[in-house]
Amino acid sequence: MPMALKLIKENRGITGEELSSLERGLGRALPRDLLEFLRRCNGATPEGNIFQIASQQNDSGVQVFLGSVEMLARRAGMRKEFGDELLPVAEAEGGNLVCVDIRTGAVLFWDHEEVADRALAPLHTSFAAFTQALQPHGPSDAELRPEDIISVWVHPDLRRD
């Protein structure tokens, strides 16, 4: 099932050699839906988007989907804290990551500012469900009410007195 979100920079699909290297590095086959995504694009930049993090009553957005080489590199940095089960698949806002549990296929949000036992928040039961839930979102979608504005700074060169 294709995702509702458009990709503004779509890389080529994963090659057989890259797939073999990724699965060798993981020690197992990829979840089928993640593999199908990688066959279309091995790393991609989506349009502005938003996804809900229900357990944190918050939201975030995917900045870029990682390519297979970057996935393994990021995973190496997380293995000490989270073991071999997590595979980072996307960069989210604020330096956080979207990860897939390669045993179950579940998608999790990793908040790099939280301690290990609170750093992971469940998002969806599969990568396909996660990508389907991504909604377009950009600056014009933000609602700003006058009562939300505490202060404003205007560069002196932009002032018209």
Predicted pLDDT at 66: 96
| Residue 137 burial (C-beta neighbours within 10 Å; 0-12, 13-18, 19+) | middle
Q: Is residue 153 part of a domain?
A: no
Q: Is residue 158 part of a domain?
A: no
Q: Is residue 101 part of a domain?
A: yes
CATH number for the domain that contains residue 18 = 3.40.1580.10
Q: Is residue 58 part of a domain?
A: yes
As for how many domains the chain has, the answer is 1
| CB-CB contact of 99 with 81 (8 Å) | no
Residue 128 is part of which domain span?
7-139
pLDDT digits (tens, 9 = 90+) for 40-83: 999 999 999 999 998 878 899 999 999 999 999 999 988 888 88
Q: Is residue 103 part of a domain?
A: yes
Q: Is residue 23 part of a domain?
A: yes
Predicted pLDDT at 142: 66
Which parts of the chain have pLDDT scores under 50? none
Tokens of residue 73, six digits: 């590199």
Predicted pLDDT at 161: 67
Predicted pLDDT at 5: 77
| CB-CB contact of 100 with 31 (8 Å) | yes
Closest alpha carbon to 43 in 79, 6, 69, 17: 69
CA distance 40 to 24: 20
